[in-house]
Amino acid sequence: MRDGAHRVGDLGTRVTLPDSAPRAVLVVRTPYGADAHRAEGAAWAARGVAFVVQDVRGRHTSPGDFAPYAGEGPDGLALLAWVRSWTAAPVVLQGSSYGAHCALATLDAAAGTPGAPAPDAVALAVPAPGLGETARTPDGAFLLQSRLGWWTEHAHTPTPSPVPAALPGLWQRLPVTTAGDHAPRPVPSWRRVTAARRTDDERARLLAAQTCPLLVVGGTADWFAREAVRTWADWGGPARLVLGPWDHGLRGASRAAVTLDWLDAVGHGRPAEGALVVDGRGAQRELGSWPAAVRGTVLAGGVVHADARHPRPSPPLGSRTLAPGPRADQLVLPVPPAAVDPGGGLTGDVTVTVRADGPGHWCASLALRGPGGALQELAHGGSTGPRVRLGPVVVPPADGGDLVLVVSPHDFPRHARDLQSGADHLTGTGPAPARRTVHAVEMETPA
């Protein structure tokens, strides 16, 4: 094995090569430190795969200012061209979380550059694909907890900053647009995050134009599970999804083994396609396409007393246990057996529409009722309107009879709260209590 540090342009880059000619080259760009991947590089080299990892601009060994989700495409394209200059082996763009954004930004830059090099394959995990896609749910709710934590830790600093003890106070601060100004280390680009909008249509067109093989590994407990499924579903070339009950760290997913098997199949000209879905009990299921929400079920309504000054709490980070006990600010609705396939459980998209008096935000969680009535969240969604998309959802058949749907105006701090005063949830300053009447909840599940 040969290992060494290089400069591509002015960016710090580490290359680990096997002793013989590599059978493939994995190319990674990361804000989390190239040196942290040295053991991974050695492991790949032991299997005949070269590993190239670069610190993105402004992080660790690369100079500049780290402005997240800005300018990664040209740097990625320069790195891809450099790798192509010294190897004839297949080149695979690889990336997890923000690194997946770097890979997709490289593809976007290549699409706009005549004669640009192209990868032979792409391997992504828990993709955090873009500024808007990581800031908002598909239905417009702002992902306050995830984004404020990440940006205060990583943006505009060469190495991670300690997560501030003041973070819970920053969640509470109004207007939300000013939270970055009051962080212990101010985040000057925070208003860019709160102003971001999703670019789903543009990204779908980029993905549909790709023809090389794709691997995506995602987890149903990950912040960005939906982005993993959509990336796979929209890809134009042969695409493989592996989705299981994992969080953003993918503990238990055997990602390296999955990637190695996929690389072998790509090398033999038979890249795997379809989706391998693993449920919470370890059972596996193959899918050719992602099941859409098409079967309608109407659930009861009720009255919700919600107070934006004391919003219903979301589960703590690392937990999927919902707030215990009866609460005036939520409805807990049993899901009838007719909404679940008795033979296959519930796998696919789930959509909830809350029919209520007046406009307002709604959040919904699909949960499993356990012993003693404890609720374990399986999927969630948030919306600035009545329609809430949950998912992706993977429920084993054995758990299909114990499902409930939890509906509330708030899911805080996971989502920025509806102030319920008529003010915008990001620029407003006046939280208020409200009584909201729900006439019915319509739930759509896969057939």
- Cα–Cα distance list, 402 to 86, 219, 336, 395 (Å): 57, 22, 9, 10
Q: Residue 427's pLDDT band (boundaries 50, 70, 90)? A: very high
Whole-angstrom Cα distance, residue 383 to residue 363? 6
- What's the confidence (pLDDT) of residue 184? 87
| Per-residue pLDDT tens over the stretch 320-366 | 999 877 899 999 999 998 888 777 789 999 999 999 999 999 999 99
**Tokens 């920025």 belong to which residue?**
416
CATH number at 425 reads 2.60.120.260
Same domain flag for 214 and 266: yes
Whether residue 304 sits in one domain with residue 194: no
* Residue of higher predicted confidence among 110 and 316: 110
**Where does a domain end: 236, 255, 287?**
287
pLDDT over 80 (residue 14):
yes
CATH of the domain at 162: 3.40.50.1820
Q: How many alpha carbons lie under 13 Å from residue 36 in its C-beta half-sphere?
A: 11
Q: Is the peptide bond before 168 cis (omega within 30 degrees of 0)?
A: no
Q: Is the pLDDT of residue 318 over 90?
A: no
Average pLDDT over residues 365-389: 94
For residues 404-408, give the mean pLDDT: 96
Given the structure tokens 């660790």, which residue do they identify?
Answer: 60
Please indicate, yes or no, whether residues 21 and 43 belong to a single structural domain of this protein.
Answer: yes
- For range 292-304, the mean pLDDT: 95
How many whole angstroms separate alpha carbon 76 and alpha carbon 244?
A: 29
Sign of CA dihedral 151, 157, 160, 163: negative
pLDDT at residue 390, as a whole number: 96
Domain count, the chain: 2
Write out the residue range of the structural domain in which residue 58 sits. 2-287
* High-pLDDT (> 90) share of the chain, %: 90
Q: Average pLDDT in the 94-102 region?
A: 98
Q: Are residues 149 and 267 in the same domain?
A: yes
**Is 34 found in the same domain as 50?**
yes
196 contacts 136 by C-beta, under 8 angstroms: yes
Q: What is the pTM of this model?
A: 0.96
CB 273 within 8 A of CB 377: no
Residue-wise burial string across 42-70, b where 16 or more C-beta atoms lie within 10 A, e elsewhere: eebbeebbbbbbbbbbbbbbbeeebbbbe
240-282: per-residue pLDDT in tens?
999 999 999 999 999 999 999 999 999 999 999 999 999 999 9
Which pLDDT score, from 0 to 100, does residue 338 have? 85
Ramachandran quadrant class, 168 (left: phi over 0; alpha: psi -120 to 50; beta: rest): alpha
Q: Tell whether 112 and 152 lie within a shared domain.
A: yes
Does one domain contain both 329 and 180? Answer: no
Res. 383: pLDDT tops 80: yes
> What DSSP letter does each residue of 258-299 carry, written as one string?
HHHHHHHHHHTT----EEEEE-TTS-EEEESSPPP--EEEEE
Residues 60 and 136 in one domain: yes
Same domain, 12 and 71: yes
